[in-house]
Amino acid sequence: MYKSGSPIQTTGQNLVGLWRPSFTKVDNKLYIFGGGGQVTTDLHALDLVDMRWSTVQTKGTPPKKRYGHTAVLWRHYIIIFGELDSLRYETQDYCNDVHVFDVQKNTWISPEIRGDLPAARYLHSAAVYNNKMFVYGGFAKNPECTYVLDELSILDLETFTWSNRHAIPPRYNHSCTLIGHKMYIFGGKDEHGNTVSDLFTINLNTPSYTPHHVLGPHSLSGNSMVLLKSQHFCEALCGKLLVFGRYLTGETTNNGSSCNAKSVYGLWMLDLDTLEWSKQECNAYFDVGGWNYFTVIDEPVGGYQSPSAMLMDGDDDQSQAGTKNLLFLGNTDPFRPQGYDHFRDALMINSECLGLYDIPPPQYSLEFAQLLNDPELSDFIIEPADGPEIHVHQVILMARWPHFRNIHKSGMIEATQRHLQIPEPHAVVYALLRYFYSDCLDDAEPWEIVADVLVLANMYILTRLKKICCERLYRRHLTVETCGHIFERAIFAQEPGLKALVLEFMFANYGAVLKSNVLVSMSAQAKDEFLEAVPQEAVLEVSKGRAAALAASPVVTQQSQTSSPASSADSAAAASNPSSTTASSGGFVSMSRSVTGGSLSISSGGGMDLSAMNGMSVGV
C-alpha cells in the first residue's frame, strides 16, 4: 500500500543521469527508452507494483541512441518514431525511422516501411487510433534552415504505409491526448518559438482531419493558466484534461503584468464540457525538488493483479470500476548533485481526492426497473427492517449481486425459503435493489439515502455503486448542514477520496461549520479522525473587519461531552490573537456571532495535507 501524497523512493537499476526519455504504459509497467544525458540503447522498465527499475533483456537490434522521439502502444507493440540523434547533437541529425518493440517476445523489429516518408523530426507528438499512428508537428530542418512542421502524417500500422499529410497549426514540444475519436493538441511552441497555451482538436473519424481551435491562450475563464516552459504533460481523465508543468505565479500589477512572480510546478484541469480551467490544490507536494513526468495509471479493484487473475476474479460491479492514480516521477532533493536521478522518486495522488470519479456508463436498460416489486412475476422476497416486503427476481439478483449468488451457491436457508432479511430501512434497501435492476441510482434519491447506500455498497463490495454514491454526495449534496454526516459515512465506507473532499470543504468553510454544531454532533470516531487531519500549524484566518468585531467580544469555547477540554495555552493564544483562532487537538473553538466567515489555513501553502490523514492510501 502506497500512501497518497507521500513520495516513494524507487529501487533497482535507476536512470541516473538520464533526462527526457520516452515513456510507454503497458499493463503494470512503464517502459522507458532513449533520452538525453547518459543515454544508452537499453530499454528500461518501472514496475508499478513494487516501484522497482530494471533493464529489459531484449533480442534483435535496438534503435540507436535518441531523444525527442515518440513511443506509443499499439496492441502489444511499442512503436518508436523520429528523434534527434543523441550521438550527433552537434550536427543536429534528425531521423524519420520507425522501430517496433514486441512486448510479449521482448524483441526489437525493424519493419519494412512503404509510402512517402514524412520529414525527419523530433519534439513531435503521436497517438494511435483505429490501427493508425497519427504524428503531429515537430521540429525539422532542410539544408537552409530549421523550421516547425505544419503537417499531420499518418502511418497505417497494419501495412506500415505512410499516407497523406495535412496542413495544421505548426507546433513542437506540445502534448497530444486521445479521448475517444478526438485528438487534443495542447501547448508547446509555435513557428516563432513562442511558448503557447492554446488547444486544438482533430476528429480522427473525419478523413479531412481538420484541426479546430478550441481555446486560445487567453481563454482562461478568469484563471491565469499560462505555461512557463513549453515542456509539460497532459492526460485525460473523466472527460477532462489534466496538464502538469511549470507556471508563473505571483502578484499582478494594474497593467496585468506579474510582479514578484516565481516559477512553480502545478496541475491544472480543463473541463471539456464547459471549457473552464481550474487549478488543483496539490502544489505543496511539488515544493521541493524537480518533477519530470506525469501520467495517470489504473489501479484495479483489490490492487494490481495479473490479467489472468483479473479475468478469474472479476465479477459484475467490481470488475467494472477501478481507481485512477495520478503518478508523478521526479527527485525530492533540493539540489542536483553529480549523477542526478531525474526519476528516483514517485508520488501518487488518488484521483478521487480531486473529485475525479471514473465511473463506467450503465450497461442495463432502465426497463428492468419496472420488474422490481412486481408480485405477479417475482420469485423471491427481500424483507427490510421496516416497511413492506419487496418482491424481486432471483435470476436478476444472481446476475448482479455477488452476495446473493453466494447465498444460493452455499445452500443457505434464505435460498431454500426464498426469503432474505436486510436490517436496513425500506427506502435504503429499495434504492439498493433498484440499482441492481437499472445499474444506476434514481436522480431524485434523497442525500441521506445515498449516504446509507454507500455504506451498504461497501459492505457488499459493490465498487461501481460506491463511486456513484461518492460522486453524487460530493457534487450535489455537500453543504455545511450535510458535511458531518457525509464525513462519517465516508469513514464507515472506507472511502478516502470522499473523506478528503469533505475535509477540504469543512476546512474551507470552517467558521460556518463551527457555528452549525456539525462537529459536536459527529460520532467520537469521526471527531477523532477530523482532529487528526488538522495540522498543528493550522489557523483560522479572518478578515481585518471581522477580526475587529471579534476583538470587541470574548471568544466562547464549546466542547462536546466526548472530547477533552482545550488546553489553557490554546485558549490564551486565541484570546491574545483575535484575528486568528486555533483549532486545537483537544476541542472545538467557535467564534462569536459577529464573525460569519473564515477558513482553516495551513501554512504549507498547498491546502490540506492528505498525507497526515488516516486511511489516505492507494493500493499498488
503: burial class by Cβ within 10 Å (0-12, 13-18, 19+)? buried
The per-residue pLDDT for 257 is 52
pLDDT at 262: 77
Question: What's the CA gap between 454 and 466, in Å, rounded?
Answer: 5
Question: What's the pLDDT band for 167 if we cut at 50, 70, 90?
Answer: confident
Residue 204 · residue 129 · CB < 8 Å: yes
Q: Give pLDDT, residue 546.
A: 54
For the stretch 185-209, pLDDT in tens is: 999 999 999 999 999 999 999 988 9
Burial class (CB in 10 A: 0-12, 13-18, 19+), 41: middle
Q: How far is it, in rounded angstroms, from Cα 581 to Cα 190?
A: 50
**C-alpha closest to that of 4 among 360, 426, 354, 290:** 354
**pLDDT at residue number 248:** 77
* Predicted confidence band of residue 86 (pLDDT cuts 50, 70, 90): low
Specify the higher pLDDT residue, 276 or 582: 276
> Which segment, 37-51, 291-305, 550-564, is predicted with the most confidence on average?
37-51
Grid cell locating 465: 455503486
Of 293-307, 311-325, 549-563, highest mean pLDDT: 293-307
Specify the DSSP class assigned to residue 82. Answer: E
> 3-state class of 486 per DSSP?
helix
State the Cα–Cα distance between residues 88 and 615, nearest whole angstrom: 51
Is residue 599 very low, low, confident or very high in pLDDT (cuts 50, 70, 90)?
A: low
Pick the more confident residue, 311 or 505.
Answer: 505
Distance CA 262, CA 267 (A): 16
How confident is the model at residue 326, as a pLDDT? 96
Q: Is 377 exposed, middle or buried (0-12, 13-18, 19+ CB in 10 A)?
A: exposed
Question: Which residue, 341, 316, 308, 359, is CA-closest to 497?
Answer: 359
Angstrom distance (rounded) from CA 496 to CA 615: 6
DSSP state of 139: E
DSSP annotation of 12: E
The band of 598, judged by pLDDT with boundaries at 50, 70 and 90, is low
Write the pLDDT tens digit of every residue in 388-403: 999 999 999 999 999 9
In this prediction, what percent of the chain has a pLDDT beyond 70?
Answer: 79
Across 82-97, average pLDDT: 74
Task: With CA atoms as reference, report the closest residue to 177 among 136, 229, 226, 121.
Answer: 136
Residue position matching grid coordinates 494490481? 304
Query: Would you say residue 60 has pLDDT above 60?
Result: yes
Quick: pLDDT tens for 356-378: 999 988 887 778 888 999 998 89
Alpha helices in 509-617 (DSSP H): 510-515, 518-521, 524-533, 544-551, 568-576
pTM equals 0.83
Asked whether the predicted pLDDT for residue 512 surpasses 50, the reply is: yes
Q: Strand pairing partners for 241?
A: 236, 270
The span from the CA of 354 to the CA of 269, in Å, is: 10
pLDDT of residue 576: 36
What pLDDT, on the 0 to 100 scale, is given for residue 611?
41
* DSSP 8-class letter at 360: P
pLDDT at position 223, please? 54
Of the candidates 471, 553, 541, 466, the residue with the CA atom closest to the CA atom of residue 509: 541
Confidence of residue 615 (pLDDT cuts 50, 70, 90): very low
What sign does the CA torsion over 418, 423, 429, 435 have? Answer: negative
Residue 133 has pLDDT above 80, yes or no: yes
> Per-residue pLDDT tens for 22-49?
999 999 999 999 998 888 899 999 999 9
